Each structure stands twice: as C-alpha cells, then as structure tokens.
C-alpha cells in the first residue's frame, strides 16, 4: 500500500510539449500528479535542472534514435530536488518527508519540468549536507555522467594527469572536482576569464582559457611529456587539440552528444560513453561527495513559465548549470 503525505492533490502544474519541435512547443499545463508504482517514490519538486541535452529531447532526437513513439503531452526534464510526498510498495530505503535529489534520463513516468515527479527509489538520494536544493537539483545528470566518464571510461587513477575540456560548463566544473577527489592532477580548459576563475575555484591545478589560448601550449606547460587522459565535454578544433595533448597509449573520452565527435590522435582513440544513472552509480557519486559538498555553480534560475527562455539561454555563454524554480 503506497504511503502519501497529507496534502494529496490530483493535478499539478507542468511544462509539456504536445509535439516535438522548438522552444515554442513548451507550454504550462495542468496534468495528473503521478502515483508511485512498486519500488517508486513521488517527489514534490522545488527545483529542477535544465540539461544541455533537453533541446535534443524536445526536438524528438532521442525518440528517433531509440525508435520509440512517446505519448503526449510529454513532460521534459531529467533531474531535480525536493521532498518525497509518496512512496510505493516495496520501498524500504526512502520515506515521505525526506529532502532528496534525483536524476532519471527519459524518465518513463514523466520528466522533472513539473511540480511532482515519480522515479525509481534507487535513483533518489538525500540532499547532501551543505548543499542547497538548487545545487542538488542540477548536479545529478552531469555529476553522474562525469563520474561515469572518469571512473568507468577513463579509469582515472591517483597521480595521473587529466585534461578537462569545457571545464567551466555544467559537466566540466564537476568533472574537475570529482577528478581531484580521485587524486588526479587536473588541467582545466575553460571558457573565458570567468570560466578560468570557476575552474580554478573547482580545484584545477592549472586553468587556461580555451577560447583565447591554444590548448597545446597550456598542455605543454602542464606536462611536457603529454597527459595521461582527457575528458571532453565540448567538440571542435580545441577538443581535437586536447586529444592530441594526450600521450600515445593514453585515454580520451566524451559523453555521447558532444559534437563534432572528437578526432583520434596518434595512439589515442576517443571513446564515447553515456551517463546512464543507476542505483550503483548514484551510490558511488554520493560516496565521493561524503561530507564534502560539491561546489555546484548555478548560473541562473528560471520559473516554470520561463523554460523556453532557459532553453535559449543554454546556447549562450554561461558557467555551470541552469536551474528551474518549481515551487
């Protein structure tokens, strides 16, 4: 028997699309509040994240890639934070009233651009001590993807040198922090003077402006013999230069979605990976945070009705992540 809090309601505000397309398809609407199935919880969201990948989902890119025909209205959004309002059968690790964050890509019961979201209990964890609800809301997707890249794709080891390309972006600034916690020495290639400052604050051993300084020059200064590995959160000539800065036989990896795909260099074949949040990855992520909160940078917060503007803002220079204030 599902357990709910006292304020049971039937409908909620959500931002939906009725067909795939541009930002103009995003509309606020009343839709039914989801009910938790077995092993699921419902979260009353306070904040949600805006992902760099959300426009691709809005345009129907993932549906086409996966050959699926989702039903409309369709609620986007794959991460957020708030308070658990209901738990389904067989949920033993979470309780109504807990303050939590969650990330669930293409969440089958609807996305996070809404007042309530229903997710598998294994994808939900308490908001870490010392972190705001906004920070916790936006860190799940990129934080776990960065960790997937660092630990599973690159197998970064303590003492190795690592280049993070796009180090002032959403994934990049968390990749810098997670990599230093794994013991790597980090060269951050950030965007702009403000980006360099953020990457330095994130703990990079050296930060350079990839929009102004050739990556090869920065890499030589950092490690004359080449780097052990690189994680690329953006594509283009400077990303290719980052791969070329890795020593032959070293490793380079990028999350699927980075365009153009980074080119191979002598003895280095960039490998694509996906975040694919699951309970085990979440456990590792939360374990690496421990009692040291991540310094998650939230550049701007938008209201639910401003989500089309948030999608436009994704294309403009900004540091860290964009958030939505739901409640």
Ligand X SMILES: NC(=O)c1ccc[n+]([C@@H]2O[C@H](COP(=O)([O-])OP(=O)(O)OC[C@H]3O[C@@H](n4cnc5c(N)ncnc54)[C@H](OP(=O)(O)O)[C@@H]3O)[C@@H](O)[C@H]2O)c1
CB-side neighbour CA atoms (13 Å) of 306:
14
Dihedral sign computed on CA atoms, order 162, 166, 167, 173: negative
CB of 259 vs ligand X, minimal distance in Å: 7
Specify which residues 49 forms β-bridges with: 323
Least distance from ligand X to the Cβ atom of residue 43, Å:
21
Least spacing, CB of residue 76 vs ligand X, in Å: 14
Q: Cβ 229 to ligand X, closest distance in Å?
A: 17
| Shortest distance in whole angstroms from residue 181 CB to ligand X | 18
Distances (CA, A) of 189 to 110, 117, 134, 198: 35, 36, 25, 11
**Which of residues 124 and 170 has its CB atom nearest to ligand X in the complex?**
170
Of the pair 133, 191, the CB lying nearest ligand X is at 191
Q: CB-wise, 116 or 254, nearer to ligand X?
A: 254
Nearer to ligand X, 40 or 191 (CB): 191
What is the binding site for ligand X (CB under 6 A)? 52-53, 141-142, 145, 166, 168-172, 189-191, 210-211, 233-234, 236, 238, 255-258, 274-275, 317-318
- Provide the β-strand partners of residue 229: 162, 251
Rounded CA gap, 111 and 164, in Å?
29
Token pair for 144: 């776990």
CB of 85 to ligand X, least distance (A): 27
Let me know: does 112 contact 77? Beta carbons within 8 Å: yes
> Nearer to ligand X by C-beta: 4 or 62?
62
């Amino acid at each position: 028997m599902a357990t709910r809090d006292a304020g049971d309601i039937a409908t909620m505000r959500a931002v939906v699309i009725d067909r795939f397309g541009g930002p103009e398809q995003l509309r606020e609407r009343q839709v039914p509040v989801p009910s938790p199935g077995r092993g699921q919880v419902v979260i009353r969201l306070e904040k949600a994240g805006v992902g760099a990948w959300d426009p691709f989902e809005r345009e129907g890119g993932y549906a086409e890639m996966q050959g699926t025909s989702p039903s409309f209205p369709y609620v986007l959004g794959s991460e957020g934070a708030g308070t658990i309002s209901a738990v389904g059968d067989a949920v033993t690790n979470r309780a109504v009233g807990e303050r939590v964050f969650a990330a669930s890509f293409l969440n089958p019961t609807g996305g996070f651009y809404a007042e309530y979201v229903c997710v598998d209990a294994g994808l939900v964890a308490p908001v870490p001590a010392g972190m705001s609800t906004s920070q916790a809301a936006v860190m799940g997707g990129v934080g776990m993807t960065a960790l997937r890249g660092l630990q599973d794709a690159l197998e970064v080891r303590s003492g190795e040198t690592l280049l993070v390309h796009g180090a002032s972006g959403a994934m990049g600034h968390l990749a810098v922090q997670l990599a230093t916690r794994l013991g790597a020495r980090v060269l951050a290639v950030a965007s702009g003077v403000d980006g360099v400052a953020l990457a330095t604050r994130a703990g990079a051993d050296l930060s350079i402006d990839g929009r102004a300084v050739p990556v090869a020059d920065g890499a030589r200064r950092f490690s004359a013999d080449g780097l052990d590995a690189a994680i690329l959160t953006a594509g283009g000539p400077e990303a290719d230069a980052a791969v070329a800065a890795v020593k032959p036989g070293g490793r380079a990896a990028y999350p699927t979605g980075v365009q153009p795909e980074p080119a191979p260099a002598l003895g280095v074949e960039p490998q694509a990976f996906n975040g694919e949040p699951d309970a085990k990855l979440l456990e590792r992520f939360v374990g690496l945070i421990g009692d040291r909160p991540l310094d998650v940078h939230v550049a701007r917060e938008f209201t639910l009705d401003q989500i089309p503007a948030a999608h436009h803002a994704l294309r403009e220079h900004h540091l860290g992540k964009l958030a939505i204030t739901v409640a």
